[in-house]
Amino acid sequence: METDSQQGGVPMSALQEGPTAVKATASSRKAHLAVSRIEPWSVMKFSFVISLVCFIILFVAVAVTYAILSTLGVFDALTTLLSQLADSGEGEEPMLNPASWFSPARVLGYTGLIGALNIILITALSTVGAMLYNLSADLVGGIDITLTESE
């Protein structure tokens, strides 16, 4: 029979007030963070995967474009045009072979070579970039970021 006495450290009058006793504010929380270090190993793994995906997209795009242009006869027309331009008219065989320039093996081979070089360069440059960021962040403290929680 405790009417006005304290029960468990809370006065009975506060328990009877109900929801008006605690009012929630509709403000958002903010966190101020600083990116002071980027792990070069994780940057290398991430950039390798992203550049590999970009290589696959590039290779498929070139293969589809080549197939469409080949079906339309663009390469045959270019080969004929270049052969006529290089023809000396004396019955000799021309020194140029434009048909080999537009072969699927050559086009897709060069695409693979360029894609492999891009994978190596993008991975190496992003890893070096992460190391340079770490060096400069040691001098100036990194990048400050403010994160806000929205409701």
pLDDT band at 27 (very low <50, low <70, confident <90, very high): low
**Alpha carbon 43 to its chain's center:** 11
Question: In the prediction, which pLDDT does 55 show?
Answer: 97
Q: Are 59 and 110 in contact (CB under 8 A)?
A: no
For the chain, give the longest Cα–Cα distance. 123
CA distance 131 to 136: 9
End-to-end CA, the chain: 43
- Between residues 52 and 22, the one the model is more confident about: 52
Q: What share of the chain in percent tops pLDDT 90?
A: 46
Q: Which among 151, 149, 146 is positioned nearest to 29, based on CA atoms?
A: 149
Question: In the prediction, which pLDDT does 69 show?
Answer: 92
Cα–Cα distances (Å) from 65 to 14, 113, 114, 118, 128, in that order, read 75, 18, 17, 20, 34
Q: Are 127 and 43 in contact (CB under 8 A)?
A: yes
Q: What share of the chain in percent tops pLDDT 70?
A: 75
Does residue 51 register a pLDDT over 60? yes
Q: Which residues contact 151 (CB under 8 A, 6 or more apart)?
A: 26, 28
Q: Averaged over 42-46, what is the pLDDT?
A: 97
Name the packing angle between helices 40-72 and 104-140 (round to 10°): 150
Q: What pTM was estimated for this model as a whole?
A: 0.66
